[in-house]
A and B are shown apart, each in its own frame.
Chain A
Amino acid sequence: MANTLPFKNQSNQSYQEHQQEKYLPEILLIYAQAFSFPQKDFYEEINSGKLDREFKELWENANLPQLDSSEPWMERVPPYEEWIRIYNEAFLGAKKPLAPPIESLYKPWTVDESFQVPFKHQKGYLMGDSAQHILHITKTLGWEIPVEYQMMPDHLSILLEILARFLANGWWSEGKQFIQDHLDWLPDWCKELEELPVETEVYRKLAQDLEYLLAIIAKH
C-alpha cells in the first residue's frame, strides 16, 4: 500500500470527519453498485469516463491516500456483454462452482449448537447467523432490504450500503464494529474467486481496493 496512515491530514480532524462523512458513503455506494448485477446505465457511466472523474473527485475530497493500483474503472471493467457473462458464471451459477458475494456462504451457518440440521457448522448456505444479524440491524433501523436481496440480506452490496449509512450518520464506532463483524470474509471470497473457471479479475481487484478502503475506515 502506498500509505498506511488512515488519512492525509491528521491536524484538521473535524473538517476531516466532515469530509469523510460526506464522501466516503458515496465511494462505498459506488462499490455496492459494482458488486450488484451490472446495470447498463452504470456501465455507460464507467465507459464514458464519468465514473472515473467522479470517483477521483470523491477520493480526493475524502482525503484518502492514493490507491497503489489506481487503474481507471474504464480500463478495469470488461465490455458490457462480457461483464454480464462473468456475473452469470461467477455469481448466478452459470458455471460450477459459483462464488456469490454473500457473507453467509463463507462462514459456518450457525453458532447455535441446539440446531439439528446437519449443515449447522458448514459454510456454503444462505441465511446464516450473519444474515440474521443484518436483518436485525436493518429492521431496528427501519431500513428495508429490497425484494431481490431478501434471500441474501448479507450480500456485499447491502453490507456496503449499511456501512455507508453508518458513516453518513457519523456512527463511526458502529461502522468499525460492522467492518470487523461483517466484512472480514472478503479474503475468503477472493480465494474462491481465484478458483473459479471464469476470469474474475475485475471483481478481485475491486475487492482488494475495497479491503484497502475498509482498513482505512477501521483504523479511523
Chain B
Amino acid sequence: MRPISRRSFLKATAATATAAAILPKALQMDFKVFAQEAQNNEVEKIPSLCNGCSSYCGVWAYVKNGRLWKIEGNKTHMKSQGHLCARAHGIAQNVYNPGRVTQPMKRVGDSNNFEPITWEQAFQEIGSKMKDIVEEHGGDKVVWACHGGKESYASQFLDIIGSPNYITHYATCFTAKTNIWSNMVGGMYNPDFDNAKMMLFVGRNYAGGIIPAAMKRITEAKEKGAKIVVVDPRFCELATIADEWLPIRPGTDLAFYLGIAHTLISEDLYDKDFVENYVYGFEEFWAHNKDFSAEKAAEICDIPAEKIREIARELAENAPQAFLDPGYHGLAAHYQNSNETAALNIIINSLLGNFWKEGGLFPAASTSFGKLESGYYGPVAQKGNRADGAGIAGEYPLVEPSRGIPQRIPDMIEKGRARVIFFYSYNPLRSAPEPEYQKKIKNADLVVSIPLDWNETTYHTAHYVLPECHYLERSEYPKVINGNIYWPAAQVAARFKALEASNSTMALLDIMKGLTTAYGIENLYPYTIEEEMEAALGPIGLTPEQLKEEGCIELRPSVLPKDEGLSFGTFTEKIEFSIGAWRKEGYLGVPTWVPPLVEPKEKNEFRLIHGKQPWHSHIMTTNNPYLMAITKEKNGTFMWMNSARAEELGIEDGDWVTVTSEITSKKVQVHVTEGLYPECVWLPSTYGTFSEKLEEGFEQGVNYNDFIPARIDKKTGHVMGQECIVTITKGGK
C-alpha cells in the first residue's frame, strides 16, 4: 500500500500491520450477502436492570450480532415479575439514539459549543485543573451531585481529598418521607398488597410512578376482595381501579390524617397492645391533637367528616390487614407540612398495629455484599464542612448529610463553598426548581458532567462532558433488590454487559479510574468490574456466572410476619411519635396541624401541582421518540384543569393558556376535566425540556420546576415543589 500522508482515521492492528495487499478470503464485500448471512446467527439472552426509573426492574436483553433484538421482564425480579413498562422499552432503545453524547467533549468559547476530545485529554485537563483548585482552596470545595441509589465510586475519592459533599437528588424527591421514617421508625416500611383487606393510597399512584409488579399485585388483591381507596386531588391512574376516589384539597393530607387518627383514638378503635408495647410518645401526640376532630379535618381537606370517620372505622375493622401506603414523591413529600404528614402516616399505621403483620407493613429484606479494598495508601485530607449545610448546626441540622440539598448549588458556588462540581447522571437544571437560577452553576471554576445524553445541565453548564455508556453496554456492581413494596426475601441482581460497546463512552468505574489517576491518586480502584462482582457476591455464596445465568437470585426469606418481640431502629427501639431530633432543635416533638405555605385566593389563581404519567417518570425519558409518540397520542403535555373552573374562565379543552407564577410565565394547552379538585391545576412532571440537543423532548410542554423558586424546607431540606400559586389567563399562543 502506498503511504498516505494526510490525517488517517483508521489504524492497522498489530496482527495485520504488515499484511500485503491481498484480500482475505473471509472478507464479504457485498453488503446484501453480508446482511443476509448475518441473519443466521443465534440470539443470546443477557440479564440487566432497567434504567428507566429508580425501580431497577429486572430485564433480559436478547442480543443478536451484538445488537439489541428485544427486551423483556425478568419473572423472578420482585419489581418486574416478568413485566416491563413503556419506559423500559423506550430507554433500552436509546442506545441507538444519535442524540447521545458520543465521546468526551470540551466547551468551546462562551456559547454552547463543544469540541470532541480524547478521553486522555479530558482526564489530563480535568485532573490538572481540579488539582490546582483543591491545592489552592481545599478539597471540601469539590461537590459530587448525583441521583443516588447505586455505587458511584465517588466517596472513595472525596474521602481522600477531604470533601464531605456527596449530594443526591432526594431533596427534590422524597426526603420528607424518608427522613421522618428514619427518625420515627428507624427506616422505611413497605406495604403487603397480597394479604391486605383494605388499602388506602393518599397521593400515591403506583400506575403513574410505576412499579409493574406492584400494580399486578394490587390488582390481584382487589380481585381477591381487598378494598382500595384512593385519596388524590386528581383522578389518577390508580384511581381507575379503586373502589373509591376521594378528591382532596391539595396540601391538606395532614388534616385528613389527623381526622383519621382522631377517630381511631377517640372511638377507641386503635390497637392498644401495639401502642403500649411498641410506641413512644402516644400521650404527647394525643395531648396536642385531641381537639383535631374529623369535623375540623373536613373543614380543611374538603372530605366530609362522616367519610373520614367511615374510612378510619373500615381501616380499624380490617386491621392489621389494612394499611395507609407510606407514599412517595410529589403529593406526599412536597408541601410545607409534608414532614408532619409523613409523621401522621406512621402514626396511623401504628394505631392500626400493622407493622410486621400480614397485609400490613414490613421492612425491606436485605443482605450485605463483600467489598474490595482500595490500593491507595497515600495521604488523606481532613474533611471540611458540607457546602450545602446539611446536618450542620445553625444551618440545616435536621437534613440528612447522606442525601444533602441539591437545589442550592449556585449559592454554594457564589459563596465560594463549591468550586468543582461533578454531575453524575443528574440534571438539576431540569429536575430542580428555577432553571434560570440553576444556570448559575456554570460560574463554578470547573463543571464536569457524566451523562448519557445532552441534558440541560450538561449543555448549559458543563466545561467537560464525559459520556457514560448505556446501561445495556456495561456491567455494574450488583444490587440488592428490595424496598418500596413488601417482599419477604432479598434478591440479588446485576447489570451485565449485553451489547457490544464502543470505547468512545465508558462505564463509571473506568471514568473514575481515569479521573483519579490524572489527579495524582494512583490505584484507588485496583480492580475490574468482574473482580468487584466476584468479591461482592462471594460472602453470600454466589458467583457472577450464576447471577448471569439466572438474572436475579432470591435469597432465603428473612422478613416474615411477627406477632411479638418487635424492635425498631430508634433510640427507644419503639416507634417514636415524638421525634427527639426535633425537640433538640427546639421544635415540638410530635406533629400537629401545619397549613400549606401558599393558598390560591383570586378567581384566576390555582395551586400548581404535579405528578407522574405511566409512560414517563423522569426528565430523562422525554427524549425518547416512542415515549413521546405516546405523549402526542394522549395529549400528554396538557395541563389538567377542573371543568367548572375552566368554564368560569372561558377555557375549553385544548385551549392555550398563559400560566404565571412569581418567577416566570409560560404557555401550555389545557385538558379540561371533572377529574381534578377545582382549586388546582395539574402538570405531568416530565416535560419542558429546554436543552436544544434533546430534540425529541425540546420545547414539549412545560415543567413545574419552571414556576417554583429553589426553596429549602428547614426540617428535611425538600423543595416544597407543590407550594406554588399560578394565575391563569386564556390565550397567549
Contacts and interface: CB of A to CB of B under 8 A. Distances in A.
Interface in B339-367: none
A71 interface: no
Contact of B109 (A36, A81, A148): A81
Contact of A143 (B11, B62, B502): B11
B26 A37 contact: no
Contacts of B30: 177, 181
Interface residues of A, number: 76
Given A146-B10, A150-B502, A171-B21, 12 more contacts: A22-B2, A42-B7, A96-B693, A116-B69, A117-B70, A119-B96, A119-B626, A132-B67, A144-B11, A148-B118, A165-B10, A181-B31
A113 B66 CA distance: 16
B246 to A, nearest CB: 39
A85 interface: yes
B93 A117 contact: yes
Interface in A59-96: 81, 84-85, 88, 92-96
A37 B108 CA distance: 13
Interface in A13-51: 21-22, 25-26, 29-30, 32-33, 36-37, 39, 42
B98 A84 contact: no
Contact of A177 (B29, B108, B109): B29
Interface string B153-166: 00000000000000
A161 interface: yes
A98 interface: yes
Nearest to B99: A93
B38 interface: yes
A97 interface: yes
A7 interface: no
Contact of B16 (A102, A141, A145): A141
Contact of B113 (A94, A112, A144): A94
Contacts of A92: 105, 114, 116, 693
Most buried by A among B10, B13, B36, B102: B10
A124 interface: yes
- Residue of A88, A102, A125, A148 with most partner-chain B CB within 10 A: A148
B9 A32 contact: yes
B39 A112 contact: yes
Interface in B17-63: 17, 19, 21, 23-24, 26-32, 34-36, 38-39, 43, 62
7 contacts: A29-B7, A92-B693, A109-B96, A114-B69, A119-B626, A126-B98, A129-B31
B12 A151 contact: no
Nearest to B12: A142
Nearest to B41: A112
Interface string A96-140: 111010100100011111111111000011110110110011101
A115 B69 contact: yes
B64 interface: yes
Contact of A147 (B67, B111, B504, B625): B504
B24 A158 contact: no
B1 A168 contact: yes
Give the top 6 A-B pairs by smallest Cβ distance, nearest first.
A142-B16, A150-B502, A96-B695, A116-B70, A181-B31, A29-B6
A119 B67 CA distance: 13
Contacts of B665: none
Given A84-B108, A171-B23, A144 B12 contact: yes
Contacts of A149: 9, 504
Given A95-B692, A109-B96, A147 B102 contact: no
A63 B369 CA distance: 69
A132 B39 CA distance: 12
B65 interface: yes
Contact of B23 (A22, A143, A174): A174
Contacts of B115: 37, 84
B698 interface: yes
B257 interface: no
A142 B505 CA distance: 22
Contact of A162 (B10, B32, B695): B10
A162 B109 CA distance: 34
B97 interface: yes
Contacts of B119: 147
Contact of B698 (A33, A36, A96, A119): A96
B70 A97 contact: no
B707 interface: no
A161 B13 CA distance: 16
Contact of B65 (A113, A132, A143, A152): A132
Contacts of B254: none
A164 interface: yes
Contacts of A30: 6
A136 B36 CA distance: 14
Contact of A148 (B15, B36, B67, B116): B116
A170 B119 CA distance: 36
A169 interface: yes
Contacts of B113: 84-85, 88, 94
Interface string B76-110: 00000000000001000100111110110100110
Contact of A178 (B29, B65, B89, B505): B29
A164 B21 contact: no
B423 interface: no
B528 interface: no
A21 B2 contact: yes
Contact of A169 (B13, B21, B31, B102): B21
B8 interface: yes
B35 A100 contact: no
Contact of A141 (B24, B38, B505, B626): B24
B258 to A, nearest CB: 49
Contacts of B625: 124
A36 B502 contact: no
B38 A126 contact: no
Contact of B35 (A129, A151, A164, A168): A129
A145 B29 contact: no
Most A-side CB within 10 Å, residue of B19, B116, B119: B116
